[in-house]
A and B are shown apart, each in its own frame.
Chain A
Amino acid sequence: MSAHAVSFSSVEKTYKRPGFLGAAYTTAVKDLSFEIPAGEITGLLGLNGAGKTTIMKLLTGLIFPTAGKVKVFGHSPAEGAAKARVGFLPELPYFPPHLRPVEALGYYGRLSGLSGPALAQAVRAAMDRTGLEPHAGKRISEFSKGMLQRLGLAQALLHSPDLLVLDEPVSGLDPLAIHDIRGLLAGLNSEGRAVFLSSHSISEVEKLCSRVLIMVKGRLAATVKRSQWEAAQGGLEAIFVEAVR
């Protein structure tokens, strides 16, 4: 396994918005270089518009860099070899409301290349792991926000990825759901999987992550290790506030 799950090297992403009087360009991230070590939980903090979601999309191959290189386990994120090792949970994932969780997971499992008994086993394991098993008979339209988030995590886990990319995984959840998801992520990490998560909740990131990247206006303002924020007065929050001011 590569020592780094992800590496960004001088990455820039500029969005082009076609308009009536010519295109408008917005640079979302610029001169961005960092690595995400394999097997670690890395957090991504930043204010709205700092470039967090752009980074997530770049490393899942949903968008392409304007300049620089992104590598996921040594491959371009657009390659199947990279995508096969990544599980992605976007912010507020949507699932067809008339489906049952097993049906939705079955479809996403097939898209991940699973079939037959391996697919059935993967769906069962993902449901069990995310605590959806008791709700297997319900339709997704009956799901609470917390259950939808669990389903989102379940679809990301189906193909046993080595890297989980989670965009705001605890956004809007109640304390019990947050507690459960935190436990789930810690368990996944203990199996050697890398987790890369973005969040607005500094306290959650502080509890889970061993390293945090702080983004300010599309640039990496600071990389902070757990030992650093544990030693700092005011913890990670003080470091974050200092960085974004």
Chain B
Amino acid sequence: MKSIGVFFAVAANSFYESVRQRFFLLFAVFAFTAIYASVLAGVMAVDQEARVLADFGLALMELTALAYALFTASSVLLREAETKTIYLVFSRPVPRWAYLGGKLCGALLTAALMLAVMGAMHLTLLALRGFGLPPCYAWAVLGSFLKLAVITSSAFFISLFSTSAVSTMVISGILWTAGHFVSEAGFLAERAQGAAALALKAVLWLIPNLQLFNARDAAGAACALPPLAFAAAAAWTLGACLSALWLLSRKEF
């Protein structure tokens, strides 16, 4: 039971520290960009303004939260080791799973709050322009959150063997980008032959298929995320967490 208490203490501390540090700056960047884009869209989108504003806003929300999540996941362990705060943590009866889980939970809670606040800002902006709630909006935001869960846990794992925060962010960014082209890469793997095909298929096993979480790619009422998407997100997140825990349990400070 004490370990659960430690888990919640780390999660709450991580959430509080994140909210205090860079939250509002990111919101300001998001609000400014979204308002600027809405003015541009009004001019350029002609009769598709509602669609353009909705898609652009959702993409911007995802990228803003992704920037936050990657920055946090790639720097938190490194910073705590550099400032030696980690000594005060791991010299106590703190299980490493509780620390890692708490940090991830705090980062995801912050990302969820960010998505919620940015979503509210986005919908307000749409309402001010005279548009209603875009179709599949909640599913799209949920899909973004699932992507963030997968990428953030992967970034925690990468940060444990990477040499710097920058390299963690770069590798995680590549993973996020590649995750949006898994179908295309699969098609290429089918067409390739010999060693190239084998190598491509092997690499595909290591890349999470983030296309599963793009709710608005589907048309009409089919935009609800399928159970497979939730199962895939849980499997990828758990796999990354267990791999990170395996590394962290061997790590010396």
Binary contact track B51-93/A, C-beta < 8 Å → 1, others 0? 0000000000000000000000000000000011101111111
The smallest beta-carbon distance between A106 and chain B, in angstroms, is: 9
Q: Taking A88-B87, A98-B20 as contacts, is the C-beta distance between A111 and B92 under 8 angstroms?
A: yes
A62 near B90: Cβ-Cβ < 8 Å: yes
Chain B residues with Cβ below 8 Å from A62 are 87, 90-91, 252-253
The smallest beta-carbon distance between B15 and chain A, in angstroms, is: 12
Q: Taking A57-B253, A113-B5, A115-B5 as contacts, is the C-beta distance between A92 and B93 under 8 angstroms?
A: no
Q: How far is the CA of A96 from the CA of B20 in the complex (A)?
A: 12
Q: Taking A94-B85, A107-B9, A110-B6 as contacts, is the C-beta distance between A80 and B93 under 8 angstroms?
A: yes
Q: Taking A80-B95, A94-B83, A98-B20 as contacts, is the C-beta distance between A111 and B252 under 8 angstroms?
A: no
Chain A residues with Cβ below 8 Å from B10 are 111
Q: How far is the CA of A96 from the CA of B85 in the complex (A)?
A: 9
Q: How far is the CA of A95 from the CA of B80 in the complex (A)?
A: 10
B5 near A61: Cβ-Cβ < 8 Å: no
B2 interface residue (CB < 8 Å to A): yes
Most buried by B among A62, A64, A95: A62
Chain B residues with Cβ below 8 Å from A81 are 93
8 A–B contact pairs at CB < 8 A? Answer: A57-B253, A61-B90, A62-B90, A63-B253, A80-B95, A98-B20, A110-B5, A110-B6
Residues of A within 8 A of B (CB): 57, 60-64, 80-81, 83-84, 86, 88, 90, 92-96, 98, 107-108, 110-113, 115, 155, 159, 165
Closest 6 CB pairs between A and B?
A80-B93, A110-B9, A88-B91, A60-B91, A94-B83, A113-B2
